[in-house]
């Protein structure tokens, strides 16, 4: 049995976070054009909320990438959906739902840098620095969360629970078999 009744981050805290992060981005990219690349599938909610609060001209694209099979890293970046935007000479902002180990995002940033953008920065809604296995630090950091499995606001468990407008902690009954 799965219990998602405990709220970790309220909807109000998420709104405050997107206001703060978008203000930082608006300050840093004032007068520039920005390419926002949302990482599917989890970041689609945050990306939508964020871009509506940006003041500069914004091109939005999406990418789906993974270096994991299940819970284990393969050490190899696999692009499931690439961007269609030519980013050469442009400022790029990667938008992620959550950063934990940082492996996939570090590899993705390196791959995008090979396409000769003016800059590549990273924005995340949620950050789990306790799980980081490299020195990756998001340039724009929403909310630091503890090392717990969380769902909501785009974050999922087997494709479910993305629709919660807050972030909840997943608790499993130890007497039942994991999904």
Would you name the residues annotated as active-site residues?
100
- Measured in degrees and rounded to the nearest 5, phi and psi for residue 68 equal -120, 150
Tokens of 175: 């007497």
- What 8-state DSSP symbol labels residue 131? G
- Measured in degrees and rounded to the nearest 5, phi and psi for residue 82 equal -95, 165
- Residue pair 66/76 in contact (Cβ under 8 Å)? The answer is no
Q: Which of 138, 141, 61 is nearest to 102 (CA)?
A: 138
Angstrom CA distances, 159 to 10, 73, 150, 152, 162, stand at: 21, 19, 13, 11, 7
- d(Cα 106, Cα 53) in Å, to the nearest integer? 26
């Amino acid at each position: 049995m799965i219990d998602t009744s405990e709220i970790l981050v309220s909807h109000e805290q998420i709104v405050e976070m997107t206001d703060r992060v978008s203000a930082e981005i608006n300050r840093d990219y004032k007068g520039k054009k920005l390419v926002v690349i949302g990482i599917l599938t989890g970041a689609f909610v945050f990306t939508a909320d964020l871009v509506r609060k940006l003041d500069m001209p914004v091109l939005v694209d999406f990418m789906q990438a993974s270096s994991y099979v299940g819970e284990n890293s393969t050490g190899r970046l696999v692009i499931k959906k690439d961007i269609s935007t030519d980013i050469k000479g442009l400022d790029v902002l990667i938008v992620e739902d959550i950063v934990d180990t940082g492996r996939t995002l570090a590899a993705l940033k390196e791959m995008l840098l090979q396409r000769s953008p003016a800059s590549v920065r990273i924005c995340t809604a949620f950050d789990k620095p306790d799980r980081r296995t490299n020195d990756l630090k998001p340039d724009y950091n929403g909310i630091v969360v503890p090392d717990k499995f969380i769902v909501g606001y785009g974050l999922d468990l087997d494709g479910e629970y993305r629709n919660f407008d807050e972030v909840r902690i997943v608790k499993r009954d130890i007497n039942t078999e994991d999904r």
